């Protein structure tokens, strides 16, 4: 409810023909229809994109679900939710610590990111319609969306030839970059990638000589497993 305070809403039982007719009347006047049902459900209820585009060719229709509208998981009619997408995408595994089980984010990361990517697509479709007058059908997979957010994984694997592995709080692209417990039992987050940042960090902790240590002389050297400051 807290995310929909500025919206009017109504409930329709789309199993019933009279509800389907009301839905079609609304869609005839709508700019956008969004749904996140399993593939084919709204078509079965006579309010899917093939039916609605006949009464509103300018309609922008986005189908958002866990695994898309075709392919193995769509054919198996698999439902999804945020936790399932975190698992299937590998996001939970890469978010964990070495040697531990996959770590599900407490936040609904896949739900929110998938929704955000969907609205970006809708805005692009609206811009396209303004220029051409054409509506669009948009298919979006929640799981694929979060895979695309894991952008560093794919070039890392291509460049290094290694599979990206869980690294806990450690950043495999920046060193030092982690959270550290202080003497007063508080935590501090540190990220120092550039030479200037690392030199400043060494001065701040009272060990300026570390900036000249061969193990830490440049960023790539600090990223080596044996030299990473933890």
pLDDT at residue 106 in the model: 86
Q: Is 111 a catalytic residue?
A: yes
Q: Are 146 and 117 in contact (CB under 8 A)?
A: no
pLDDT at residue 230 in the model: 45
Task: Identify the active-site residue in 13, 31, 82, 111.
Answer: 111
Work out whether the CA dihedral 17, 20, 21, 22 comes out positive or negative: positive
Each residue's pLDDT tens digit in the chain (230 positions)? Answer: 567 778 888 899 999 999 999 999 999 999 999 999 999 999 999 999 999 999 999 999 999 998 888 888 888 888 889 999 999 888 999 889 988 999 898 888 889 888 899 999 999 999 999 999 999 999 999 998 888 888 788 888 888 888 888 888 888 788 888 888 889 999 999 999 888 999 999 999 999 999 999 999 888 889 888 887 54
pLDDT at residue 139 in the model: 94
- Report which of 218, 216, 169 is spatially closest to residue 194, judged by C-alpha positions: 218
pLDDT at residue 2 in the model: 65
Work out whether the CA dihedral 204, 209, 210, 216 comes out positive or negative: positive
| pLDDT tens per residue, range 128-184 | 999 999 999 999 999 988 888 887 888 888 888 888 888 888 887 888 888 888 899
pLDDT at residue 16 in the model: 97
pLDDT at residue 229 in the model: 54
pTM over 0.85: no
Give DSSP secondary structure letters for the chain: -TT-TT-------TTSHHHHHHHHHHHHH-SEEEE-PPTTHHHHTT-SHHHHHHH-TT-EEEEEESS-SSSHHHHTT----HHHHHHHTSHHHHTS-TTS-----SS-HHHHHHHHHHHHHHHHHHHHHHHH---EEEEEEHHHHHHHH-TTHHHHHHHH-S-----TT--SSSSSEEEEE-TTS-EEEEE--SHHHHHHHHHHTT-GGGGG-GGGSSHHHHTSTTT---
């Amino acid at each position: 409810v807290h995310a929909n305070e500025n919206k009017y809403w109504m409930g329709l039982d789309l199993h019933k023909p009279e509800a389907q007719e009301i839905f079609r009347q609304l869609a005839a006047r709508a700019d956008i229809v969004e749904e996140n049902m399993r593939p084919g459900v709204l078509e079965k209820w006579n309010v899917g994109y093939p039916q609605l585009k006949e009464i509103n060719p300018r309609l922008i229709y986005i189908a958002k679900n866990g695994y898309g509208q075709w392919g193995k998981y769509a054919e198996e009619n698999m439902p999804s939710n945020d936790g399932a997408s975190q698992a299937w995408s590998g996001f939970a595994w890469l978010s964990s610590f070495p040697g531990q089980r996959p770590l599900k984010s407490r936040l609904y990361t896949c739900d929110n990111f998938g929704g955000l990517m969907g609205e970006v697509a809708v805005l692009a479709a609206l811009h396209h319609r303004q220029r051409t007058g054409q509506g669009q059908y948009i298919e979006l997979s929640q799981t694929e969306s979060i895979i695309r957010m894991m952008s560093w994984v794919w070039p890392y694997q291509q460049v290094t030839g290694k599979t990206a592995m869980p690294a806990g709080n450690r950043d495999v692209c920046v060193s030092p970059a982690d959270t550290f417990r202080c003497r007063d039992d508080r935590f501090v987050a540190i990220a120092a990638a550039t030479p200037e940042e690392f030199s400043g960090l060494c001065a701040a902790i009272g060990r300026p000589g570390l900036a000249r240590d061969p193990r830490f002389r440049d960023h790539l050297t600090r990223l080596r497993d044996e030299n990473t400051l933890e």
